[in-house]
Amino acid sequence: MKTKTLHITLLLAIMLVAATGLRAQQQPIFTNYSNSYTYINPGFAGMSEGVNVLGLYRQQWAGFKDNDGNDIAPTTYLISADMPFRVLHGGLSVSVLNDHIGFEDDTGLNLGYSFHLDLGGSTLGIGVAGTLCNRTVDFSQLTPGQDNDPILQSLGEQSDMLFDFNVGLFWQMPESIYIGVSALNVLESMTKALSDQNESSASFVNDRTFYAVAGYPFQIEDLPMFTFVPSVAAMTDISSWQLNVGAKVIYNNLFSLGVNYRPQESIGLTASLCIKDFTVGYAYDINMMGLGVVPGSHEISLGYCFKLDLDRTPRDYRSVRYL
Instruction: Name the 3-class secondary structure at 213.
Output: strand
pLDDT attached to residue 215: 95
What local confidence, expressed as pLDDT, does residue 5 receive? 45
Averaged pLDDT, groups of 10, the chain, 323 residues long: 44 40 58 93 91 93 69 88 94 95 88 96 96 83 62 67 95 92 92 56 78 92 90 92 94 94 91 93 87 78 82 47 64
| 55 contacts 301 by C-beta, under 8 angstroms | yes
Name beta bridge partners: 236: 210, 241
What is the predicted pLDDT for the residue at 322? 61
Burial category of 196 from C-beta neighbours within 10 Å (exposed 0-12, middle 13-18, buried 19 and up): exposed
What amino acid is encoded at 268 in this protein?
G
Cβ pair 38, 44 in contact under 8 A = yes
**CA pair distance 40, 21, nearest whole angstrom:** 18
Count CB neighbours of 74 within 10 A.
Answer: 17
| Architecture of the domain spanning 3-193+203-322 | Beta Barrel (2.40)
Report yes or no: 188 and 208 within 8 Å, Cβ to Cβ: yes
Q: Cα(46)–Cα(319) distance, rounded to whole angstroms? A: 11
Start-end of H helices in the chain: 3-17, 37-40, 150-155
pLDDT at residue 148, rounded to an integer: 63
